Amino acid sequence: MDFKKYMRKESKDYVVDMTALVDIAFIIILFLGIVSTLAPISSINVELPTASTEVSSIEPTKIFIDKEGNYYLQGKKVSDEEILNYLKSNNIKALSIVADKRVVYEKVVHLMDIAKQAGVEQLNIATKRGR
């Protein structure tokens, strides 16, 4: 087909305006940059209770308990035996329990018993700073 017969003779140069495309690409990059900084620091969702006392100066090993009562050590779901073996093999003397405020209290006490069996000397329960 001969499309030249449909073209005007004076307009043989075509210009594609890229301004809108560049603007949209910039907005998408800006959006992704802002959203990526809002990512949560911890992947384990734990809501802490509040307390008015100061935090401890020693950095203990942390074990997380989510609202379903699952134990997490170094971001990995673990069982009672794995916790006991880890605490004994690494000779952990300070332990911090980071438990969701909705967790069954029995789970926290059970973890305290495991820590006692492993020889942990200092036990902390993490809280949010409150009034």
pLDDT value of residue 5? 65
Q: How far apart are the first and last CA of the chain?
A: 81
Task: Determine the length of the chain.
Answer: 131
The least confident of 23-37, 55-69, 85-99 is: 55-69
The least confident of 29-38, 65-74, 102-111, 114-123 is: 29-38
Nearest by Cα to 106 from 81, 76, 78, 71: 71
Task: Delimit the domains of the chain by residue range.
Answer: 3-37, 50-129
Instruction: Tell me, yes or no, if the pTM score tops 0.85.
Output: no
Sign of CA dihedral 62, 55, 53, 87: positive
How many Cα atoms occupy the beta-carbon half-sphere of 89 within 13 Å?
6
The least confident of 24-33, 46-55, 77-86, 118-127 is: 46-55
Between CA 93 and CA 23 the distance in angstroms is: 56
For the chain, counts of helices (H) and of strands (E)? 3, 7
* Record: fold of 50-129: Nucleotidyltransferase; domain 5 (3.30.420)
User: pLDDT-based confidence at 41, cuts 50/70/90?
Assistant: low
Is the Cβ–Cβ distance between 125 and 50 less than 8 Å? no
CA 45 to chain CA mean position, Å = 7
